[in-house]
Structure 1
Amino acid sequence: MPTLSRWFVRTSFVYLAAGFTLGGLILLQKGLGILPGVWVWLPVHVFFVLFGWILQFTLGMAYWILPRWGVIEGRNRGNDRLPRLSYIGWNGGLLCLLLGPWLRGAWLSQAAAWFNGVGGTLLVMATVLFLAHSWPRVKPFLT
């Protein structure tokens, strides 16, 4: 497994642990009512589980499994600059989305909206970068 795939997968498990911890705290509040401010973190829980765990794990597996067609620049998966930038953008976007509820709780709602916008933009850009790298590697099966 290439190093970048391992980073994608390992980071996805960190988001899995963080997302399940937030989900557990939200369920604790729902059942016992002892953590009233935890509902603000529901969007972060959803983003961590969906984008941080599931999609980042999928990107790591896709980078590893997609076919290797020829040698480009001495590497069998092509130039890895775009997927590396995708990894950085993906995790930067998720961390920006983490700051949104925290800043909203500190009465900085405009900063929270700005971080949410930057985080969403980084996620979209990271997806486009990963697709730009992976699209040429998808080829029909030749017999």
Structure 2
Amino acid sequence: MRSRGVLVALFLLPLAWGLVSLASGRAVSVVPECPGLQLDDVGEEHPGRMRPGFTCAVGYDNATGRSTGTRTYDQQKFAQETERDGRYLRGAGYLAYSAVGLTVLAVSGPLRLLGRPRRRREAAGRPTSGSTDTTGA
């Protein structure tokens, strides 16, 4: 019975992680947000919301002062959509795995009880308390 509890716990962990993954997918913004240095169409640093025509310096090299990777508004929007979809997909996968595992555990318990009943061992030569002696002795 102890191993059954361990199995339930091992299926509840992915269930919790799936819920966290779904919540983190929900937290990814729909509006493109630049994780690095944001430049407007003139090349000046621009704080605030990313707008069409802006460029996002995703990677920045402090030694040279140059950006190592940039994304346009549409590329950043696509990257965030891909990240959000990936989190939703991983969360759904963890939830499905947990649901199948917990269902198998729930179904296997009653089926084991429906199988061959276990017989109690009788002591050698002594009847059990529920048996009747018809010999009259």
| TM above 0.5 | no
Task: Tell me: higher relative CO, structure 1 or 2? Use CA pairs within 8 A at least 6 residues apart.
Answer: 2
TM-score, normalised via structure 2 length: 0.40
TM-score calculated relative to the size of structure 1: 0.39
Q: Tell me which structure has the larger Cα radius of gyration.
A: 2
